[in-house]
Amino acid sequence: MGKYMLIMRASDEAQAAFESSGIDFDELLATMGRFNAEMIDAGVLVAAEGLEEPEKGVVVDYSGDEPVATDGPYGETKELFNGYWILDVPSIDDAVAWAKKAPLAGPGMKSEIRRIPSIDEFPQDNEWVRREREWRERTGQL
């Protein structure tokens, strides 16, 4: 088994179309809820979160000498990161299969899939890896 993050993305146009669609929020919650329940029942869901609209976010830009924080909206982004699921599945192919079932249909809607390396894949003699492992063990994450 391995952990994979499915990152929900939408183009600026898809986000605007969704916001102006007038979709019922209860309907949206039910649709996502059914998908999440399916993953829970299959024993693959580790975590899932949606994000607030970008206008309520902040961007920290590290390109200058000092980081600069700017309130949203961000201007043109090409794609917004709207939420995620973390799945514990045997392979990336299984993660792809779940992503294909996600209720994110429409032009400009995407899900990016990235594997989450386990702490065992990092140098175990590194002080910071050792400290993180101890923290994970102390908090029941390992």
If you count DSSP H runs as helices and E runs as strands, how many of each does the chain have, helices first? 4, 6
CB atoms within 10 A of CB 95: 25
CA distance 124 to 142: 15
Which residue ranges make up each domain of the chain?
2-117
> How do the pLDDT tens digits run along the chain, 142 residues long?
799 999 988 877 777 777 777 778 788 888 899 999 999 999 999 999 988 877 888 888 888 999 988 887 665 667 778 899 999 999 999 999 999 999 877 788 888 999 999 999 999 999 999 999 999 999 998 8
CA distance 39 to 34: 9
Beta-carbon contacts of 19 under 8 Å, excluding residues fewer than 6 positions away, are 53
Please tell me the pTM assigned to this model: 0.81
- Give the 3-state DSSP-derived string for 85-98, with helices as H, strands as E and coil as C: EEEEECCHHHHHHH
> At the topology level of CATH, where does 2-117 sit?
Alpha-Beta Plaits (3.30.70)
CA distance 142 to 138: 8
